[in-house]
Amino acid sequence: MRGEVLRLCFPMRLCLSLPFAAAPYRALSGWQAASGQAARKITENARKSLASLKREHPRLEPTLAIIQAHNAPLVQEMNKNFAEEVGLRVINVCLPEDSSKDEIVNEILRLNEDPNVQGLALDLPESLCSSKILNAVKPEKDVDGLSDINLGRLVRGEDSDYFVSPTAGAVMELLEDLGELFYHGKTVLLVGIDGALGSSLQCLLQRRGAITASCLWKSPGLQSKLHHADVVVAGSPKPDSVPKSWLKPGTTIINCSPDLLSEKHSYDQKNSNTTENAVCSLAVAMRMQNMVKNTERWIQSQQLRKWDLHCLKLQPLSPVPSDIEISRAQSPKAVDVLAKEIGLLTDEIEIYGQTKAKVRLSLLERLKDQPDGKYVLVAGITPTPLGEGKSTVTIGLVQALTAHLNINSFACLRQPSQGPTFGVKGGAAGGGYAQVIPMEEFNLHLTGDIHAITAANNLLAAAIDARILHESTQSDKALYNRLVPVVKGVRGFSSIQLARLRRLGINKTDPETLTEEEISRFVRLDIDPSTITWQRVVDTNDRFLRKITVGQANTEKGFVRQAQFDIAVASEIMAILALTTSLKDMKERLGKIVVANDKKGEPVTAEDLGVTGALAVLMKDAIKPTLMQTLEGTPVFVHAGPFANIAHGNSSILADKIALKLVGEKGFVVTEAGFGADIGMEKFFNIKCRASGLVPSVVVLVATVRALKMHGGGPSVSAGAPLKKEYTEENLQLVADGCCNLQKQIQITQLFGVPVVVALNVFKTDSPAEVDLVCEIAKQSGAFDAVPCSHWSDGGRGAVKLAQAVEKAANQKSSFKYLYSLELPIAEKIKVIAQKVYGAKDIELSPAAQSQIDRYTRQGFGKLPICMAKTHLSLSHQPERKGVPTGFILPISDVRASIGAGFIYPLVGTMSTMPGLPTRPCFYDIDLDPITEEVKGLF
């Protein structure tokens, strides 16, 4: 392609009698005036259009980036002046003249991905205008219309989807000034013009009835072609070997030579620089006009669009195959296709393989003015060892809403820990024909968020022990010299050290000015090892790490202490990830983590240790939700997986917020809370909703007949063991007795003023009479509706009635309220939860618990919400007590704090934060086929 990009900025000279036209068609000054007037008109229209856009979008600052690899200050100045007049911002990226094509392409790719650049143009030497370079520009940023995609649209006549090259547009504007019928039947010869400009001009001229031809100056038969031409458009300078006599009298000549504005070009008296600039201005004005049109398109692309979702078809089999067989039988959509279907932009996703992608938080800013959809929480009755299927209901519900009722919906799930996956529970992708796919990717590693949490958590743990060691073995002066070293002759505080100085009330920035007392306060955290609450973590069930001894190596100089490992998902950093609302908020929360007390009883934080920035760096990608899909091709966010015992057990606020914007005002976001409504739902409302500011629309309460039979007094069960006849044969009395737990969980939901729909997860052993009985009791107990569901065996089709009930319930007037005021003392908040939610008569605080409450109150943490750490197997603190226990005293053995996450967590009895492996773990069944690389044995 010969200088196409430069031509856009170079003047189109109308050569009439000069130098080789026998008789002028129009005086040169007339053409100069015409082109100048046209440029002014185009510029003014573009300015008005952009001003109108800015009134509607006050923060709009459209930016055009121009890459140039030659010295052309006049071209640069013209672009700048026209852009300022229109109201555009121009960035000139000046590359060296000897830049390679690969270097230019790399710069183009960088600007393609820059969300602050809405348009991209190229001013390059002819030798660099290759197809590789021109097609590197994203079509949606190609304001010069140079890419093959744009040219193809022009040729096909898709008027709304292409830009005319500004040079071609300027040529057409000059010719149109000769009259509307000027083209018809006329012969237009393009000399020395090929590539995008030549194709564009031929297409535009032929549409107007002109006969076009093209050739080079050295082409055979040039004299004859020139003699028969009515119009000659030259793309390169005329050689001296071509005399003016070859043109017939009255020929109109337009010169698009790229040399006219070059500093190396020598102007003669016949070529007025003023005239050339006036004509050139027409092309530059058209470039800016294209940029304004592109800005309008960009604004439209940023708006929430109707989903164009192509759902996947299911063909359920009977009997239902294993989860992994079902997952493998379905071919998922490529994740970039799914992202486009639901309105995500290309630069808003980071793809991990074929079926999962991270979603960038910039989407929240783009859609900030869009109304949220409806917010649905899936909770459950008090669970049994067999599980009640909350994840399966969540997936089945969104499959029903989107694939069968054509309502936008999103599922938001927690990421499973590999501890249970390889231990006893198995995966957490749902089950049957209601699951997230591919299920092996969902259950194994995913996008590495848990590994990032593990790394951040253990970095903080290492920092604690290292600081204690160094403080115990060094003087104040030695510590200071190492903490604030001289680097290249200069000593300075880091930003996090300056923040610590401010917290200490030391308002100094010069390290040389601190007094000995100030140095001592600065360098010594004086951590009391007996108060350290921050533990190391690993994402594996490993019972032998429940209590360990650290510091036994001789190099640690006798600093030995007892510690422990928790499972990674029990880390406070995981709870922070789930509750954070932005990268800035996460960094602040990480800094607030209290790891211990000093010897004066004051809290020591991650910020004091100087590790906050490093933690944020390790978590910078983990903060982005992961996009996946269900078996029916509907979207799912998988993000965060906090323990539901010592943390709040809910997926992330960020995933919910992004999903609520994407589904639109009439859509639904369905998220799940861990364990029963007394634990996961209560924490969702009192902790997560306080942090997010989001208001729930509906609660879906999941129950099963077999679980209700257990609450009614049925025999105990264990996973993997055959069910006893009470659970496989009809027993209405046992079901009726067990419905007390369902009724209690409905009452708990009503405490928060949110409508509840009961989803009865039906199994083949359930009789119709048992199913009808549960639904009748649920509705009599205050549920908005109660619906039997068969999504496990039938996919979304088996949850359509549930989806319809949820849609109706969401239209009810909600009177959501929190259970308690944060102003209440810590002990009073604990008591409210114990009495109103669990049904306890009272609470009993151990001396240790009371001491901790007093300490946290004194340290200023008394107004935080409460996150109860209690068994999930009973409403009480005793796992064996099923149904609805009453009259019991709830013992609080200890009270701890997750200050970064933002809650106080009382311990009811003894809570394990490190599961152990059973005699026969799941890993016995997990294997890898070395030929196909397929994972086997997951469930």
Q: Tell me if 592 sits within 8 A of 900, measured CB to CB.
A: yes
CA-CA distance, 476 to 799, in Å (whole number)? 67
The tokens for 662 are 């994407």
Burial of 382 (0-12, 13-18, 19+ CB in 10 A): buried
Q: Tell me if 699 sits within 8 A of 684, measured CB to CB.
A: no
Say which residue the tokens 């973590």 belong to. 537
CA-CA distance, 130 to 4, in Å (whole number)? 10
Say which residue the tokens 């070009």 belong to. 265
Q: Tell me if 170 sits within 8 A of 282, measured CB to CB.
A: yes
Q: Tell me if 759 sits within 8 A of 787, measured CB to CB.
A: yes
CA-CA distance, 395 to 414, in Å (whole number)? 12
Element (H, E) at 29: helix 28-56
CA-CA distance, 278 to 154, in Å (whole number)? 27
Q: Tell me if 753 sits within 8 A of 817, measured CB to CB.
A: yes
CA-CA distance, 638 to 894, in Å (whole number)? 33
| Number of CB atoms found within 10 A of residue 814's CB | 17
- Provide the residue count of the chain: 939
Query: Nearest CA to 720 among 416, 861, 925?
Result: 925
CA-CA distance, 185 to 210, in Å (whole number)? 5
Indicate the DSSP class of residue 334: P
Query: Nearest CA to 515 among 182, 260, 125, 523?
Result: 523
The one-letter amino acid at 799: A
Q: Tell me if 120 sits within 8 A of 142, measured CB to CB.
A: yes
Indicate the DSSP class of residue 26: S
CA 419, 424, 425, 427 torsion-angle sign: positive
CA-CA distance, 738 to 732, in Å (whole number)? 10
Cα distances (angstroms) measured from residue 930 to each of 331, 905, 926, 933, 936: 21, 46, 13, 5, 11
Q: Which residue intervals of 405-542 are DSSP H helices? A: 418-422, 439-443, 449-473, 476-483, 495-503, 516-523
Q: Tell me if 366 sits within 8 A of 407, measured CB to CB.
A: no
| Number of CB atoms found within 10 A of residue 628's CB | 26
Element (H, E) at 935: strand 935-936
Question: What beta strand segments (E) does 555-652 contain?
Answer: 561-563, 565-567, 594-597, 603-605, 626-630, 635-638
Query: Nearest CA to 297 among 157, 119, 43?
Result: 119
Query: Nearest CA to 206 among 227, 237, 185?
Result: 185
Query: Nearest CA to 438 among 352, 531, 318?
Result: 352
Query: Nearest CA to 929 among 427, 440, 422?
Result: 440
Query: Nearest CA to 415 among 344, 356, 338, 348?
Result: 356
Say which residue the tokens 């991270």 belong to. 358
CA-CA distance, 686 to 655, in Å (whole number)? 18
CA-CA distance, 620 to 528, in Å (whole number)? 31
Catalytic residue positions? 390, 392, 414, 425, 644, 675, 763, 792
